[in-house]
Amino acid sequence: MERYELAAERIKEIPNEEIAQEPFRAYFKEVSSFLSMTTAIMEREEEPDLAGYREENNALYSALSPDNYAACWGNPDYAREKLGEYGPLLSFLYAELRGCIAFAYEKNTENMTVALELFLEVYCSFGGDELPEADDIKGILNSYINDYCQDMVEQRTRSVVDPDLDFAYRIIMDSDLTDLRYLYRFGEYIGENEIRAAELFNAMPQEEVDGLAEVYAEGYRKGFEVTRKDIRKKKTVDIEYHLGFERMIRSAIGKFEAMGLRPVIHRSAVHAINKRGLQKRGFIGGDINPQFAYDHKEDIALFLTKDLVKKKLRALQVSYDKVKKLAGVLGGPAVIETFGEKPFSPVTHSAALSLSDEQQKLQIDYNNEAMQITNRYIPGEERSFTIIAFPLCEIGEPYEDIFREIVKINTLDYAKYQRIQQTIIDTLDSCEWVEIKGKGDNQTDLLIHLHELEKPGKQTNFENCVADVNIPLGEVFTSPVLAGTGGVLHVSKVYLEGLQFSNLTLVFDCGQVIDYSCDNFETEEENRKYIEENILHHHHKIPMGEFAIGTNTTAYTSARRLGIEDRLPILIAEKMGPHFAVGDTCYSWEEDTPVYNPDGKEIIARDNEISALRKEDLSMAYYGCHTDITIPYDELGSIAMIDDDGEMIPIIEDGRFVLPGTEELNRPFDEE
């Protein structure tokens, strides 16, 4: 506390000082003012009214808004323009210090103190008559990461398994959720999306809220049931969601607790050492400007070395060992995704930190080793998950009508789809080859090789996916044999992990991507880099880990009628046509755990030639990613199986289901 008080008082003096030379003085004055704002929040005793909270939230986040970002220190190109070679370093510092918002609202004196002292150390380096060497500033930042690596990794590890860390839980359970001040207590950006979601839930009858919570929580329970895992061994559930859904979360907590599961609700990673690119796991608020996160997605490049990888892995091992009892009873994540934000096509800022080829390999090696450590303490064969998605108001108006349409999609008839999908599976199980072709401008032409069934009466290639772990229902999927799988996958426009891709083309040979292109940027080099970073995830080659046929024609026609096709998350979009995942299979790290369909047949297509390498060398078997790419029905020419005589048996023609027993799936098309 003494260190914190000294640092906080010193930072308050900086806006009135002229110690640092210009243009650095402007940087330090602005950042110190921001930090003083966070310490004032941390130290206050009285809560603001709603208007005060909104004003405060705007003051904390407005610098990142698209209107202000061109002249923001978080913009690496602006920082380099103004600060020269120091720009990328001080832009990294700016991004790292944004974590002080979370520390302030959580009253986390330890993390706040470390952040303030880091800022002061850098500030003092600019206090002399001569500027410090850029390498000296880089050295300070590297020391910060290395000195606090163990603490930061340990905090993050505990936060995802320990229900006693109840900062968010207490807000959800103790607040008057009709008083929207509660949203601001989380310390995240609160925009129209979060406010409108909370207002929508507040206007719902309790039985409707409980019904949505039941779909979500019951999907989680069914995930254990259908995979024949014992949920009674588990004591906690990891709840991940977007702010604004607290009434549903509060109801779901009651349902989870009735199952004997305490909730773990943690914030998305704050420190750069714990972040994983654009991936966010935990509770999240709004994103005032996706470009900022995109610019800083590879900030780890500043300090990623072989020694740091070893240190992080040791820290992770030690951290899990300290919480091994808590980790062992974690059931897995229950996730509420949100969607509807305007599609984001990023701008390439050349000053943004990026991983070198050597660092990319180090990051892949770390991810593989870290997954092995995690899997030892939270065994894959014992955990499950569920995931469901709902729209935010940015998707368009009338928001309430769109929301209810998505509720309808998320609650379709389980038994009906299970029956129809079994018809598709029974047909596909009679062959080894499937052909997929696009139509019109879609250039897709793929041949998929399926596993041979040695015992057709007891085995199947495809999982019958209805509403349990993966909501909404509506697909049959498999892991193809890589040998013989090949061709061209093309889609005119697709939205993956929050990023838009135009005219995306992937070329496969022996089941692996060997060439790729898109039309997002002016140059081929930029387009290829975009795919390498966000689909291939820096792998030189990456396999097709999944082939699936989506059957949720209700979702497809609803999206077209509402004009929201480009806003849907992959969780829903993958059910709206055939889709192909690049990366790991759907069963990664659980290939040796038997999985069965409702008809009792074992799904044997859990491996491919690459994942099978785990038995010899784990580092060769996994990619740490799984990216689904869907061809919408209106770009689909045909899906047909090829029988032993070379005859084509169509399942879909001209975007319509033609296999006998599946005709009912065309009803939503007829009702358009």
Residue-number span of the structural domain to which 646 is assigned:
413-670
Q: Measured in Å, how far apart are the chain's first and last C-alpha atoms?
A: 64
Is the pLDDT at 279 greater than 80? The verdict is: yes
Lowest-confidence segment of 38-42, 269-273, 345-349, 548-552 by average pLDDT: 345-349
d(C-alpha 576, C-alpha 579), whole Å: 8
| 150 and 171 inside one domain | no
Give residue 540's pLDDT band: very low, low, confident or very high (50, 70, 90): confident
586-625 pLDDT tens trace = 998 888 888 899 889 999 999 999 999 988 888 788 888 8
Asked whether the beta carbons of 323 and 162 are under 8 A apart, the reply is: yes
Dig out the tokens for 354 from the structure.
């990026």
- Give the pLDDT confidence score for residue 159 in this predicted structure: 98
- Specify whether the CB–CB gap between 580 and 494 falls below 8 A: no
Q: What is the pLDDT of residue 244?
A: 98
Residue at 391 is within a domain? no
Domain end among 159, 179, 206: 159
pLDDT at 644 over 90: no
Domain count, the chain: 3
Task: Answer yes or no: are the C-beta atoms of 540 and 652 closer than 8 Å.
Answer: no
Residues 395-453 have pLDDT tens digits of 999 999 999 999 999 988 888 999 999 999 999 999 999 999 999 999 999 999 999 99
- Is a pLDDT exceeding 80 seen at residue 457? yes
Residues 427 and 527 in one domain: yes
Say if residue 366 is in the same domain as residue 512. Answer: no
pTM: 0.90
H or E segment at 603?
strand 602-603
State whether 368 and 421 are in the same domain.
no
Do 302 and 360 share a domain, yes or no?
yes
Separation between Cα atoms, residue 82 and residue 70, nearest integer Å:
12
Task: Please report the pLDDT score of residue 570 as a whole number.
Answer: 85
pLDDT digits (tens, 9 = 90+) for 84-130: 999 999 999 999 999 999 999 999 999 999 999 999 999 999 988 89
Distance CA 582, CA 336 (A): 23
* Residue that terminates a domain, selected from 116, 135, 159: 159
Instruction: For residue 276, give the DSSP letter.
Output: B
Asked which of 159, 177, 193 is the last residue of a domain, the reply is: 159
- Which pLDDT band, with edges at 50, 70 and 90, does 467 fall under? low
Mean pLDDT of the chain: 94
Structure tokens given for 659:
């296999």
pLDDT at 653 over 80: yes
The H or E element spanning position 390 is: strand 386-391
Give the pair of three-digit tokens for residue 455: 């015992």
Same domain as 194, residue 132: no
Please check whether residues 207 and 345 belong to one and the same domain: yes
CA neighbor of 172 nearest in space, from 111, 115, 213, 125: 213
Is 258 within a domain?
yes
Confidence (pLDDT) at 571: 87
In a domain, 417, yes or no: yes
- On whether the CB atoms of residues 249 and 238 are closer than 8 A, the answer is no
Average pLDDT over residues 57-78: 98
Residues 375 and 424 in one domain: no
**How would you label 147-180 residue by residue, b for 16+ Cβ within 10 Å and e otherwise?**
ebbbbbbbbbbbbbbbbebbbbbebbeebebeeb
Q: Read off the pLDDT of residues 330-372 as tens digits, 9 standing for 90 and up.
A: 999 999 999 999 878 889 999 999 999 999 999 988 998 999 9
pLDDT band at 497 (very low <50, low <70, confident <90, very high): confident
CA pseudo-torsion sign 588, 590, 594, 599: negative
Please report the pLDDT score of residue 98 as a whole number. 98
Q: Is the pLDDT of residue 485 over 80?
A: yes
User: Could you give the CA distance from residue 632 to residue 293 in angstroms, rounded to a whole number?
Assistant: 29
Q: What is the pLDDT of residue 116?
A: 98
Look at residue 408 and tell me if it is in a domain: no
pLDDT digits (tens, 9 = 90+) for 22-35: 999 999 999 999 99
Phi, psi of 203 (to 5 degrees): -85, -10
602 in any annotated domain:
yes
Asked whether residue 397 is domain-assigned, the answer is no
Return the closest-CA partner of residue 635 out of 424, 432, 492: 492
Q: DSSP string of 346-363?
A: ----TTS----HHHHHHH
Using alpha carbons, list the distances in angstroms from residue 153 to 105, 279, 359.
Answer: 21, 17, 20
> In this structure, are 476 and 619 located in the same domain?
yes
Query: Which position has the token pair 């820096």?
Result: 538
Whole-number percent of the chain with pLDDT over 70: 100
| In the predicted structure, residue 391 carries a pLDDT above the cut 80 | yes
Residue 400 belongs to some domain of the structure: no
**Which pLDDT does position 145 carry in this prediction?**
96
- Asked whether residue 486 is assigned to any structural domain, the reply reads yes
What pLDDT score was predicted for residue 598? 86
Name 477's bridge partners. 463, 548
Structure confidence at residue 516 (pLDDT): 97
Same domain, 85 and 230: no
464 shares a domain with 594: yes
**pLDDT confidence of residue 624:** 84
Higher pLDDT, 645 or 242: 242
196 and 145 in a single domain? The answer is: no
Grade residue 558 by pLDDT with cuts at 50, 70 and 90: very high
